Amino acid sequence: MSRNDALRAARIRKGWRTIEAAATAITEHGQELLDDRQFTVSARTWRRWEGDRPGWPAEETAIVIHDALSRWPEDLGFTTPPGWIRPEHHEEEQVRRQAFVSVTAAALVAGPVAPQHVDPALIDYFQQQLEGHYRADMFLGPHDLIGTVSAQYQLIDKLVKSAKGETRRGLLRVGAAYAALVGWLYQDAGDMDGAAFWRGVTQEIAMRSRDPHLIGYSLVNQAQVRTDLGDGHAVVDLCEAALDDADQLVPKVRIMAMQQQAHGASLTGDRDLVDHLIDKADLLLPCVDDDLPWGNACRRTPGYLEVQRATCYGRLGLGAEAGALWSQVLAIVPETARRDRGVYMARQATAAAAAREPDQAVEIARTVATIAVETRSARMRRELVTLERAMRPWQDAPVGRDLAEILEPVTEGS
């Protein structure tokens, strides 16, 4: 996006259709915010801001722009001068430090702890709780569960320090599953640093458990983070590592590794490999018969592998093919799986835009925006950002303005 496009897009999203309207609105906003009736931004100044050389606004003007558009000037195409420090910079640093402490607190509890008896029945208790957390995640989204699940992981970690023999190994196995779920919740909430930290915890606990299935699962978890970061080659590397001893793995883990490797292949533009991996995984689905309490999305998610194929097709720019698959998937995904439906519909809308059907894309986006606000899923918001990019050819048309209006509540909540 060129410099002038960034500010222009923010202006249109705000509902300021012309430069003159933007200048008037920002002037009024600044006068009220600063309690200064002399504060003024002319249409000529705004026009220069949207040009090739926008320069840099005065500090008080930068503050007004941020307050009005929820973006700092450097995020809107302005040229950042040497030495510029955002007014809230130090507050942001403190928040980041506090957030990291919060993310790591449950996993980095210092030992030793007072010894206690650990009944083997606790393993079944935590496993049963885990299935309930998976179901709750489908209904609630990440924010309401992170605290609960990470606190239970902390308890498991404490018990591991006292447990012995098979009880200890059983708790390590269930602990790895809890750590994986916490990592997923952070990923869905958009905190990739937190997600990567907890994926690392998952891998450590899996290695300590000596369970080959969990070790493979932990590698797939790492690959999921790399998928969200757009690093296709890393995704393929991790999944190939998980499949090195495929004959030792239960079919479920092999399916997970193959479908995730397909995502890596889509990031590197290899459609043939995408189809090969998804088709191969599909042949294994009837063989999934383990009683492991984790990684059961392939059982629990309707049309699981077609969801992956449709996502890969969308990433490859195959709008018509992806749209047809999303229609099939959404016909069988229950309304109660609200978060997942929202993500799938956002991808369906992007596929419609890629197929040059902007009206259909906007109609789908109406429902997605409501779900995104309710669930606060960062993953869904990211999908809507992808939709915005796909809809750029129509940003000046009525359908583009409709989309900006529809997505405004999502942008405000981000």
Q: Give the residue among 373, 413, 406, 370 at the shortest CA–CA distance from 387.
A: 406
* pLDDT above 60: residue 99: no
3-state secondary structure of 120: coil
- pLDDT at 371 exceeding the cut of 70: yes
Among 124-138, 278-292, 348-362, which is the least confidently predicted range?
124-138
CA distance 303 to 85: 49
Using DSSP's 3-state secondary structure scheme, residue 26 falls into helix
Angle at 186 between CA 185 and CA 189, to 5 degrees: 90
Give the per-residue pLDDT at 203.
92
Query: Cα dist. 247→211, 213, 216, 242, 252 in Å?
Result: 14, 11, 12, 11, 12
Q: What is the DSSP letter of 17?
A: -
Q: How many residues does the chain have?
A: 414
| 374-404 tens-digit pLDDT | 877 778 888 998 999 899 999 889 999 999 8
C-alpha 158, offset from chain centre:
30
Q: What value, to the nearest 5°, has the Cα angle with vertex 119 and ends 113 and 123?
A: 95
pLDDT on residue 294: 85
Look at residues 258, 228, 226 and name the one whose alpha carbon lies nearest to residue 240.
Answer: 258
User: Is 414 exposed, middle or buried, given 0-12, 13-18 or 19+ CB atoms closer than 10 A?
Assistant: middle
Q: Indicate the average pLDDT of the chain.
A: 86
Burial of 44 (0-12, 13-18, 19+ CB in 10 A): exposed
What lies within 8 Å, CB to CB, of 145 at 6+ separation is 133, 136, 137, 185
Residue closest to 380 by CA, chosen among 141, 154, 117: 141
Q: Which of 89-103, 243-257, 297-311, 332-346 has the lowest mean pLDDT?
A: 89-103
Residue 56 · residue 81 · CB < 8 Å: yes
Pairwise CA distance, residues 268 & 316, whole Å: 9
Mapped onto helix, strand or coil, the DSSP state of residue 400 is helix
Cα–Cα distances in angstroms (integers) from residue 71 to residues 112, 178, 259, 373, in the given order: 46, 36, 37, 19
What is the average per-residue pLDDT within 256-260?
A: 97
Percent share of the chain, pLDDT over 70: 90
H helices present in 113-228, as ranges: 121-140, 146-160, 165-188, 192-209, 212-228
Confidence of residue 95 (pLDDT cuts 50, 70, 90): very low
Who wins on pLDDT, 198 or 101? 198
Which one-letter DSSP state was computed for residue 41?
A: -
Please write down the long-range contacts of 233-236, taking CB distance under 8 Å and 24 or more positions apart: 233/264, 233/268, 234/264, 235/260, 235/261, 235/263, 235/264, 235/267, 236/261, 236/264, 236/265, 236/268
Q: Which residue has the tokens 């789908």?
A: 364
Q: How do residues 297-338 score in pLDDT, each as one tens digit? A: 888 888 999 999 999 999 999 999 999 999 999 999 888 888
Separation between Cα atoms, residue 375 and residue 396, nearest integer Å: 30
Averaged pLDDT for residues 134-154: 81
